Amino acid sequence: MDQFNIFEKIKMIPVAYQQEVEDFIDFILQKKVNKKDEGNNPRKLGLLKGKMKMSDDFNAPLDDFKEYM
């Protein structure tokens, strides 16, 4: 293991970069919170089944592009 702990290492970083370290720590903590939230509310498949309808001519060329085709 390293001879310095994390707090000593942070103190050795120039002050201008210490904010970046703090921002990164906040990012990691937020990522952890988001993952924890995802585990509590798993997505439910088929939730919108039957709620949407695709037009029969969905793949038909659009009139606006006829001159390019």
Listed by start position, the domains of the chain span 1-39
Closest CA to 22 of 7, 43, 1: 7
Cα-Cα-Cα-Cα dihedral sign, residues 2, 13, 11, 7: negative
Tens digits of residue pLDDT in 30-60? 887 776 666 666 778 888 889 989 899 999 8
Amino acid at 25: I
Structural contact between residues 21 and 10, judged by C-beta atoms closer than 8 angstroms: yes
Q: What is the pTM of this model?
A: 0.42
Structural contact between residues 22 and 14, judged by C-beta atoms closer than 8 angstroms: no
Closest CA to 13 of 21, 5, 1, 2: 21
Confidence at residue 38, expressed as pLDDT on a 0 to 100 scale: 61
